[in-house]
Structure 1
Amino acid sequence: MSRAPAVMVWMMLFATLAAGCTTASGGRSEPPASTTSGAGVGETCRAPDEPGCNPCCEQGEGGGCTVKRWAPGPTSSAEENAVEPWYNENSFEERCPDQCRACARCSKRDEQELKQLGTRPECDCTQPPGVDACFTPGSCGCYCDRLNRLGRACPELMPRR
Protein backbone atom coordinates (compact mmCIF):
# COMPACT_ATOMS: atom_id res chain seq x y z
CA MET A 1 0.00 0.00 0.00
CA SER A 2 1.27 3.44 -0.92
CA ARG A 3 1.95 5.98 1.81
CA ALA A 4 0.63 8.80 -0.41
CA PRO A 5 -3.06 8.45 0.62
CA ALA A 6 -2.16 8.47 4.32
CA VAL A 7 0.08 11.51 3.84
CA MET A 8 -2.68 13.36 1.98
CA VAL A 9 -5.14 12.60 4.80
CA TRP A 10 -2.72 14.01 7.36
CA MET A 11 -2.04 17.09 5.22
CA MET A 12 -5.78 17.71 4.79
CA LEU A 13 -6.38 17.21 8.53
CA PHE A 14 -3.54 19.56 9.38
CA ALA A 15 -4.79 22.18 6.91
CA THR A 16 -8.27 21.92 8.40
CA LEU A 17 -6.96 22.29 11.94
CA ALA A 18 -4.59 25.11 11.02
CA ALA A 19 -7.37 27.02 9.30
CA GLY A 20 -9.39 26.98 12.51
CA CYS A 21 -6.59 27.99 14.90
CA THR A 22 -7.24 30.83 17.27
CA THR A 23 -4.92 33.19 19.06
CA ALA A 24 -4.41 33.22 22.82
CA SER A 25 -7.01 35.99 23.06
CA GLY A 26 -9.56 33.81 21.28
CA GLY A 27 -9.50 35.63 17.93
CA ARG A 28 -8.59 33.96 14.67
CA SER A 29 -5.08 34.56 13.42
CA GLU A 30 -5.51 36.16 10.00
CA PRO A 31 -2.96 36.59 7.25
CA PRO A 32 -1.88 40.12 6.48
CA ALA A 33 -3.86 42.14 3.93
CA SER A 34 -0.79 42.74 1.79
CA THR A 35 2.27 40.76 0.89
CA THR A 36 4.91 39.62 3.32
CA SER A 37 7.66 41.27 1.36
CA GLY A 38 7.01 43.71 -1.50
CA ALA A 39 5.98 41.72 -4.59
CA GLY A 40 2.49 42.51 -5.75
CA VAL A 41 1.71 44.86 -2.86
CA GLY A 42 -1.95 44.71 -1.86
CA GLU A 43 -2.66 41.48 -3.72
CA THR A 44 -3.26 38.23 -1.90
CA CYS A 45 -3.26 34.71 -3.27
CA ARG A 46 -6.54 32.78 -3.43
CA ALA A 47 -5.17 29.71 -5.26
CA PRO A 48 -1.78 28.27 -6.17
CA ASP A 49 -2.51 28.43 -9.90
CA GLU A 50 -2.58 32.25 -9.80
CA PRO A 51 0.68 33.84 -11.03
CA GLY A 52 3.25 34.08 -8.25
CA CYS A 53 1.05 32.25 -5.72
CA ASN A 54 2.76 28.90 -5.33
CA PRO A 55 3.76 29.27 -2.56
CA CYS A 56 1.91 31.87 -0.54
CA CYS A 57 2.73 32.87 3.04
CA GLU A 58 0.97 33.72 6.29
CA GLN A 59 3.03 35.73 8.76
CA GLY A 60 2.45 34.50 12.33
CA GLU A 61 1.58 36.94 15.12
CA GLY A 62 4.46 35.84 17.31
CA GLY A 63 6.89 35.44 14.43
CA GLY A 64 7.34 32.52 12.13
CA CYS A 65 5.65 31.93 8.83
CA THR A 66 3.28 29.34 7.40
CA VAL A 67 4.20 28.59 3.79
CA LYS A 68 1.36 27.04 1.77
CA ARG A 69 1.97 25.16 -1.48
CA TRP A 70 0.24 23.02 -4.07
CA ALA A 71 2.01 19.67 -4.12
CA PRO A 72 0.40 17.39 -6.72
CA GLY A 73 0.32 13.77 -5.71
CA PRO A 74 1.73 10.83 -7.64
CA THR A 75 -0.83 10.75 -10.46
CA SER A 76 -0.79 10.52 -14.20
CA SER A 77 -0.70 13.81 -16.08
CA ALA A 78 -4.35 13.29 -17.15
CA GLU A 79 -5.42 12.83 -13.51
CA GLU A 80 -3.31 15.78 -12.42
CA ASN A 81 -4.93 18.03 -15.04
CA ALA A 82 -8.38 17.05 -13.70
CA VAL A 83 -7.53 18.26 -10.18
CA GLU A 84 -7.92 21.94 -9.41
CA PRO A 85 -4.82 23.03 -7.47
CA TRP A 86 -5.30 23.97 -3.83
CA TYR A 87 -2.96 24.60 -0.91
CA ASN A 88 -2.50 21.01 0.23
CA GLU A 89 0.94 21.37 1.81
CA ASN A 90 1.91 23.57 4.76
CA SER A 91 5.33 24.13 6.23
CA PHE A 92 6.52 26.37 9.04
CA GLU A 93 9.54 28.61 8.63
CA GLU A 94 11.28 31.02 10.99
CA ARG A 95 10.64 33.80 8.50
CA CYS A 96 8.70 34.14 5.27
CA PRO A 97 10.76 33.68 2.11
CA ASP A 98 11.55 36.81 0.13
CA GLN A 99 8.97 37.64 -2.54
CA CYS A 100 6.37 35.29 -1.02
CA ARG A 101 2.92 36.83 -1.53
CA ALA A 102 0.39 36.73 1.28
CA CYS A 103 -2.31 34.07 1.29
CA ALA A 104 -5.87 35.40 1.08
CA ARG A 105 -8.08 34.74 4.07
CA CYS A 106 -10.73 33.18 1.79
CA SER A 107 -9.12 30.82 -0.72
CA LYS A 108 -10.93 29.65 -3.85
CA ARG A 109 -11.16 26.19 -2.28
CA ASP A 110 -12.72 27.63 0.91
CA GLU A 111 -15.28 29.45 -1.22
CA GLN A 112 -16.11 26.30 -3.21
CA GLU A 113 -16.44 24.17 -0.06
CA LEU A 114 -18.70 26.73 1.61
CA LYS A 115 -20.99 26.87 -1.43
CA GLN A 116 -21.08 23.05 -1.63
CA LEU A 117 -22.02 22.68 2.05
CA GLY A 118 -25.53 23.91 1.43
CA THR A 119 -27.93 24.29 4.33
CA ARG A 120 -28.87 21.73 6.96
CA PRO A 121 -31.84 23.15 8.91
CA GLU A 122 -31.80 20.13 11.25
CA CYS A 123 -28.36 21.17 12.56
CA ASP A 124 -28.07 23.64 15.45
CA CYS A 125 -24.72 25.30 14.77
CA THR A 126 -24.96 27.55 17.83
CA GLN A 127 -23.75 24.59 19.93
CA PRO A 128 -20.03 23.67 20.13
CA PRO A 129 -19.34 20.91 17.57
CA GLY A 130 -17.12 18.87 19.91
CA VAL A 131 -13.51 17.73 19.92
CA ASP A 132 -13.48 15.54 16.80
CA ALA A 133 -16.69 16.58 15.09
CA CYS A 134 -15.77 15.05 11.75
CA PHE A 135 -15.09 11.59 13.14
CA THR A 136 -18.57 11.03 11.70
CA PRO A 137 -18.31 13.00 8.43
CA GLY A 138 -22.05 13.32 7.73
CA SER A 139 -22.96 14.44 11.25
CA CYS A 140 -24.38 17.81 12.22
CA GLY A 141 -21.26 18.35 14.35
CA CYS A 142 -19.02 17.95 11.30
CA TYR A 143 -21.29 20.13 9.16
CA CYS A 144 -21.28 22.89 11.80
CA ASP A 145 -17.53 22.61 12.34
CA ARG A 146 -16.90 23.06 8.61
CA LEU A 147 -19.50 25.82 8.31
CA ASN A 148 -17.95 27.75 11.22
CA ARG A 149 -14.37 27.32 9.95
CA LEU A 150 -15.25 28.32 6.40
CA GLY A 151 -17.46 31.15 7.66
CA ARG A 152 -14.52 32.63 9.58
CA ALA A 153 -12.39 32.42 6.41
CA CYS A 154 -15.11 33.80 4.11
CA PRO A 155 -17.55 35.82 6.23
CA GLU A 156 -18.85 37.73 3.22
CA LEU A 157 -20.16 34.43 1.76
CA MET A 158 -21.98 33.22 4.86
CA PRO A 159 -25.72 32.84 4.38
CA ARG A 160 -27.86 35.24 6.39
CA ARG A 161 -29.66 33.56 9.29
Structure 2
Amino acid sequence: MWIGLDNLKDVDLGWNEIKEIAPDAFSPLASNLETLNIRHNPLKTVPPTGLKNLRSLFLSECPLEGLGPDALKDYTALETLDVSKCNLTQLQPEAFVNQEKSLKTLHLQRNLLKTIDPKLKRTLDVSKCHLTQLQLEVSVNQEKQGEHSLLLVDIITGHSAQ
Protein backbone atom coordinates (compact mmCIF):
# COMPACT_ATOMS: atom_id res chain seq x y z
CA MET A 1 0.00 0.00 0.00
CA TRP A 2 2.83 2.42 0.81
CA ILE A 3 5.26 1.23 -1.90
CA GLY A 4 7.65 4.03 -2.85
CA LEU A 5 6.32 6.31 -0.10
CA ASP A 6 8.77 5.39 2.66
CA ASN A 7 9.87 9.05 3.01
CA LEU A 8 6.31 10.21 3.72
CA LYS A 9 6.15 12.46 6.81
CA ASP A 10 2.41 13.23 7.08
CA VAL A 11 -0.62 10.99 6.54
CA ASP A 12 -4.21 12.27 6.76
CA LEU A 13 -6.86 9.55 6.83
CA GLY A 14 -9.52 11.59 8.59
CA TRP A 15 -13.20 11.21 7.73
CA ASN A 16 -12.83 7.75 6.14
CA GLU A 17 -15.07 5.54 8.32
CA ILE A 18 -12.01 3.52 9.42
CA LYS A 19 -13.11 1.21 12.23
CA GLU A 20 -9.84 -0.59 12.82
CA ILE A 21 -6.17 -0.20 11.89
CA ALA A 22 -3.91 -3.24 11.68
CA PRO A 23 -0.79 -3.00 13.89
CA ASP A 24 1.49 -3.25 10.85
CA ALA A 25 -0.53 -0.90 8.60
CA PHE A 26 2.14 1.82 8.72
CA SER A 27 5.25 -0.38 9.06
CA PRO A 28 6.86 0.82 5.79
CA LEU A 29 6.50 4.43 7.02
CA ALA A 30 7.69 3.85 10.60
CA SER A 31 11.09 5.51 10.33
CA ASN A 32 9.95 8.83 8.80
CA LEU A 33 6.26 9.34 9.59
CA GLU A 34 5.85 12.32 11.94
CA THR A 35 2.14 13.18 11.73
CA LEU A 36 -0.85 10.85 11.60
CA ASN A 37 -4.32 12.35 11.32
CA ILE A 38 -7.07 9.78 11.76
CA ARG A 39 -9.69 12.12 13.20
CA HIS A 40 -13.40 11.62 12.76
CA ASN A 41 -13.26 7.86 12.25
CA PRO A 42 -15.26 5.35 14.33
CA LEU A 43 -12.16 4.12 16.18
CA LYS A 44 -12.90 2.99 19.73
CA THR A 45 -9.26 2.55 20.77
CA VAL A 46 -5.94 4.18 19.94
CA PRO A 47 -4.45 1.95 17.23
CA PRO A 48 -1.20 0.16 18.19
CA THR A 49 0.86 1.10 15.14
CA GLY A 50 4.45 0.78 16.32
CA LEU A 51 5.16 4.34 15.11
CA LYS A 52 7.82 5.17 17.71
CA ASN A 53 8.97 8.30 15.80
CA LEU A 54 5.49 9.81 15.43
CA ARG A 55 5.37 13.36 16.79
CA SER A 56 1.70 14.29 16.23
CA LEU A 57 -1.38 12.09 16.52
CA PHE A 58 -4.82 13.52 15.78
CA LEU A 59 -7.76 11.43 17.03
CA SER A 60 -10.35 14.16 17.57
CA GLU A 61 -13.99 13.17 17.08
CA CYS A 62 -13.24 9.44 17.42
CA PRO A 63 -15.55 7.69 19.93
CA LEU A 64 -12.67 6.44 22.08
CA GLU A 65 -13.62 4.22 24.99
CA GLY A 66 -10.81 5.72 27.07
CA LEU A 67 -7.07 6.20 27.35
CA GLY A 68 -5.89 3.24 29.40
CA PRO A 69 -2.36 2.51 30.60
CA ASP A 70 -1.28 0.87 27.32
CA ALA A 71 -3.17 3.11 24.88
CA LEU A 72 -0.15 5.23 23.92
CA LYS A 73 2.71 2.81 24.62
CA ASP A 74 3.84 2.77 20.97
CA TYR A 75 4.08 6.55 20.69
CA THR A 76 7.26 7.33 22.66
CA ALA A 77 8.21 10.48 20.70
CA LEU A 78 4.71 11.99 20.71
CA GLU A 79 4.73 15.78 21.17
CA THR A 80 1.11 16.58 20.22
CA LEU A 81 -1.97 14.49 20.95
CA ASP A 82 -5.45 15.66 19.97
CA VAL A 83 -8.25 13.72 21.64
CA SER A 84 -10.76 16.57 21.56
CA LYS A 85 -14.45 15.76 21.08
CA CYS A 86 -13.89 12.07 21.92
CA ASN A 87 -16.41 11.98 24.80
CA LEU A 88 -13.70 10.96 27.25
CA THR A 89 -14.93 10.85 30.84
CA GLN A 90 -11.56 10.28 32.52
CA LEU A 91 -7.82 10.23 31.89
CA GLN A 92 -5.52 7.72 33.50
CA PRO A 93 -2.11 9.29 34.24
CA GLU A 94 -0.51 5.93 33.42
CA ALA A 95 -1.59 6.42 29.80
CA PHE A 96 1.10 9.09 29.40
CA VAL A 97 4.05 7.28 31.03
CA ASN A 98 5.91 6.84 27.73
CA GLN A 99 5.37 10.51 26.82
CA GLU A 100 6.57 12.08 30.09
CA LYS A 101 9.47 13.85 28.38
CA SER A 102 8.06 14.32 24.89
CA LEU A 103 4.39 15.40 25.20
CA LYS A 104 4.06 19.17 24.91
CA THR A 105 0.46 19.65 23.77
CA LEU A 106 -2.59 17.66 24.77
CA HIS A 107 -5.91 18.77 23.27
CA LEU A 108 -8.81 17.79 25.52
CA GLN A 109 -11.48 20.32 24.65
CA ARG A 110 -15.12 19.27 24.37
CA ASN A 111 -14.84 16.03 26.30
CA LEU A 112 -16.88 14.98 29.33
CA LEU A 113 -14.10 15.15 31.91
CA LYS A 114 -15.16 15.95 35.46
CA THR A 115 -11.68 16.09 37.03
CA ILE A 116 -8.05 16.00 36.00
CA ASP A 117 -5.78 13.79 38.09
CA PRO A 118 -3.10 15.91 39.85
CA LYS A 119 -0.43 13.59 38.43
CA LEU A 120 -0.98 15.12 35.01
CA LYS A 121 1.42 18.08 35.35
CA ARG A 122 1.34 19.09 31.70
CA THR A 123 0.14 21.88 29.49
CA LEU A 124 -3.54 21.02 29.23
CA ASP A 125 -6.22 22.82 27.27
CA VAL A 126 -9.21 22.24 29.53
CA SER A 127 -11.29 25.22 28.43
CA LYS A 128 -14.24 23.23 27.05
CA CYS A 129 -14.14 19.92 28.90
CA HIS A 130 -17.27 20.30 31.04
CA LEU A 131 -15.12 20.21 34.18
CA THR A 132 -16.81 20.71 37.52
CA GLN A 133 -13.63 20.78 39.56
CA LEU A 134 -9.98 21.06 38.77
CA GLN A 135 -7.48 19.83 41.34
CA LEU A 136 -3.96 20.32 40.05
CA GLU A 137 -0.90 20.48 42.24
CA VAL A 138 1.65 22.83 40.74
CA SER A 139 5.29 22.80 41.75
CA VAL A 140 6.69 26.27 42.47
CA ASN A 141 10.07 25.25 41.05
CA GLN A 142 8.76 23.59 37.92
CA GLU A 143 10.83 25.71 35.51
CA LYS A 144 14.02 24.78 37.35
CA GLN A 145 13.00 21.13 37.26
CA GLY A 146 12.29 21.26 33.53
CA GLU A 147 8.61 20.34 33.87
CA HIS A 148 5.97 21.62 31.49
CA SER A 149 3.76 24.45 32.67
CA LEU A 150 0.03 24.22 33.21
CA LEU A 151 -2.61 26.26 31.45
CA LEU A 152 -4.97 27.21 34.25
CA VAL A 153 -8.48 27.95 33.07
CA ASP A 154 -11.49 29.47 34.78
CA ILE A 155 -13.97 26.60 34.55
CA ILE A 156 -17.02 28.85 34.42
CA THR A 157 -15.86 31.24 31.68
CA GLY A 158 -13.36 29.02 29.89
CA HIS A 159 -10.80 31.85 29.87
CA SER A 160 -7.13 31.39 30.65
CA ALA A 161 -6.11 32.56 34.12
CA GLN A 162 -2.80 34.05 32.97
Bin for the TM-score computed over the shorter chain: under 0.3
Question: Which structure exhibits the higher relative contact order, with contacts defined as CA atoms closer than 8 Å and separated by 6 or more residues?
Answer: 1
The structure with more helix, counted as a fraction of residues: 1
Give the TM-score normalised by the residue count of structure 2.
0.23
Give the TM-score normalised by the residue count of structure 1.
0.23
